[in-house]
Structure 1
Amino acid sequence: MNYCGIDLHSNNCVVIVSDESDRIVYRKRLPNELTQIAAALEAYRHELAGVVVESTYNWYWLVDGLMDSGYRVHLAHPAAIRKYNGLKHSGDFADAAYLAQLLRLGLLPEGYVYPREERGARDLARKRMQLVRYRTAQILSIEGILMRQTGSRITGEAVKRLTADQVNEFAFTPDVTLAMEANRAVSQALAQQIEALEKRLMERVSLRAEYRLLKTVPGIGDTLATTIMLETGSIRRFAHVGNFSSYCRCVDSLRESNGKKKGEGNTRNGNKYLAWAFVEAANFAMRYCPQARSFYDRKKSRTNRVLAIKALAHKLARACYHMLRDQKPFDVHLCFG
Structure 2
Amino acid sequence: MITRVTALPKLFIGIDIHKRSWKIHCSTDLFAGKSFTMPPDPNELLKYVQKHFPDHQVSTAYEAGCCGYSAHRSFVSFGWESLVVNPADIHRKGKERYTKTDRIDAQLISRELKDGRLQSIIVPDIEREELRSLFRRRNDLVKDLRRIKSLIKMQLLYYGVKVPPEFDNDHWSHEFRHWVDSQEFEYGTARESLASKMRDFRFTDKELRDISSKLRAYCRTHFKQDYYLLRSIPGIGGIVAVGIIAELGDLRRFSSLKHLAGYIGLAPNIYESGANSKSKGMNPRCHRLIRSYFVEAAWQAIRTDPVMQTYYRQHLGKDVKKIIVKVAHKLLSRTLAVIKTKTPYEIGVVA
Scaled by the length of structure 2, the TM-score of the pair is 0.86
Match of 2:3 in 1: none
Q: Percent identity?
A: 20
Match of 2:115 in 1: 105
From 301, 325, 328, the counterpart of 1:313:
328
**Superposed counterparts of 1:297-336, under 5 Å:** 297-301=313-317, 303-331=318-346, 332-335=348-351
CA contact (8 A) 2:315 2:323 kept: yes
Structure 1, unpaired ranges of 5+: none
**1:16 maps to amino acid:** H
Q: Structure 1 CA distance, aligned partners of 2:281 and 2:172?
A: 43
CA contact (8 A) 1:53 1:59 kept: no
From 34, 38, 41, the counterpart of 1:30:
38
CA contact (8 A) 1:162 1:184 kept: no
Residue 265 of structure 1 and its aligned partner are, at CA, apart by 9.2
**Superposed counterparts of 1:36-75, under 5 Å:** 36-43=44-51, 44=53, 46-75=55-84
Farther-moved stretch of structure 1 (85-94 vs 98-107): 85-94
SS of 2:73 mapped into structure 1 = helix
**2:191 maps to amino acid:** T
Match of 1:170 in 2: 183
Q: Structure 2 CA distance, aligned partners of 1:83 and 1:98?
A: 8
SS of 2:259 mapped into structure 1 = helix
CA contact (8 A) 1:248 1:317 kept: no
Match of 1:196 in 2: 210
Structure-2 change in CA distance of 1:297 and 1:106 (3 Å): same
**Superposed counterparts of 1:133-212, under 5 Å:** 133-148=143-158, 149-152=160-163, 154-158=168-172, 166-173=179-186, 174-207=188-221, 208-212=224-228
Structure-2 change in CA distance of 1:232 and 1:160 (3 Å): farther
**2:134 maps to amino acid:** L
Aligned length: 332
Residue 162 of structure 1 and its aligned partner are, at CA, apart by 5.2
Farther-moved stretch of structure 1 (139-148 vs 249-258): 139-148
Farther-moved stretch of structure 1 (220-229 vs 105-114): 105-114
Residue 45 of structure 1 and its aligned partner are, at CA, apart by 6.1
Q: Deviations over 1:108-147 (max 9, x none)?
A: 1321111112111111111111101111221222233334
**1:63 maps to amino acid:** H
Q: Structure 2 CA distance, aligned partners of 1:39 and 1:300?
A: 65
SS of 2:65 mapped into structure 1 = coil
From 234, 241, 251, the counterpart of 2:267:
251
Q: Structure 2 CA distance, aligned partners of 1:118 and 1:317?
A: 21
Q: Deviations over 1:270-300 (max 9, x none)?
A: 2122112211210111111122122223224
SS of 1:17 mapped into structure 2 = strand
**2:148 maps to amino acid:** Q
Match of 1:2 in 2: 11
Residue 199 of structure 1 and its aligned partner are, at CA, apart by 2.7
Q: Deviations over 1:49-71 (max 9, x none)?
A: 41102111212221122222322
**1:73 maps to amino acid:** S
Structure 2, unpaired ranges of 5+: 1-9
Q: Structure 1 CA distance, aligned partners of 2:310 and 2:281?
A: 31
Q: Structure 1 CA distance, aligned partners of 2:181 and 2:290?
A: 42
Match of 2:255 in 1: 239
Q: Deviations over 1:168-213 (max 9, x none)?
A: 5322344443332232111111122122212321232113211110
Residue 22 of structure 1 and its aligned partner are, at CA, apart by 5.3
Q: Deviations over 1:305-334 (max 9, x none)?
A: 111111111111111112212222225533
From 194, 205, 225, the counterpart of 2:241:
225
Match of 2:7 in 1: none
Q: Structure 2 CA distance, aligned partners of 1:180 and 1:193?
A: 20
CA contact (8 A) 2:84 2:120 kept: yes
**2:268 maps to amino acid:** D
From 293, 304, 328, the counterpart of 2:309:
293
**1:39 maps to amino acid:** K
**2:200 maps to amino acid:** V
CA contact (8 A) 2:266 2:282 kept: no
**2:42 maps to amino acid:** L
**2:183 maps to amino acid:** F
Farther-moved stretch of structure 1 (152-161 vs 45-54): 152-161
Q: Structure 2 CA distance, aligned partners of 1:36 and 1:61?
A: 14
Answer with 1 or 2: which has the greater Rg.
2
**1:291 maps to amino acid:** V
CA contact (8 A) 1:167 1:177 kept: no
Structure-2 change in CA distance of 1:273 and 1:147 (3 Å): same
From 75, 92, 97, the counterpart of 2:102:
92
Residue 264 of structure 1 and its aligned partner are, at CA, apart by 4.9
Structure-2 change in CA distance of 1:330 and 1:86 (3 Å): same
